[in-house]
Every structure is written in structure tokens, then in C-alpha cells.
């Protein structure tokens, strides 16, 4: 969800929207994204 973009190449969903969809807090989303950044390479 986080990497989806619209026609203008902007993020399609905000972190707040993603958090609300999954019933978690924004810091949880940021922690998850941070973990994924460390595993890319």
C-alpha cells in the first residue's frame, strides 16, 4: 500500500490512512517500514 502512487507520482495513501485500515498506530507503520528498509539491498 505504501509504495502505490497516483497519476502524479504522489503516494496514494498516507501513513494515517494505512494505520487506520489495519487498526494500528502510525508508529507501528513507521517501524514496519524501517525494518523493510534495512532488509532491502
Note the pLDDT tens digit of each residue in 5-41: 888 998 899 999 999 999 999 999 999 988 876 666 5
- What is the model's pTM? 0.69
Neighbouring residues of 7: CB distance < 8 A, sequence distance ≥ 6: none
pLDDT computed for residue 41 by the predictor: 55
Report the number of distinct structural domains present in the chain.
1
Return the sign of the alpha-carbon dihedral for residues 5, 7, 9, 13.
Answer: negative
pLDDT computed for residue 31 by the predictor: 94
Neighbouring residues of 21: CB distance < 8 A, sequence distance ≥ 6: 1, 13
pLDDT computed for residue 35 by the predictor: 83
Neighbouring residues of 5: CB distance < 8 A, sequence distance ≥ 6: 11, 12
Could you list the residue range(s) of the whole structural domain that residue 21 is in? 1-41
Cross-strand pairs, 11: 5
Amino acid at each position: 500500500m505504501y509504495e502505490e502512487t497516483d497519476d502524479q507520482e504522489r503516494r496514494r495513501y498516507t501513513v494515517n490512512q494505512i494505520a487506520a485500515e489495519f487498526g494500528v498506530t502510525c508508529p507501528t507503520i513507521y517501524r514496519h517500514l524501517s525494518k523493510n528498509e534495512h532488509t532491502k539491498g
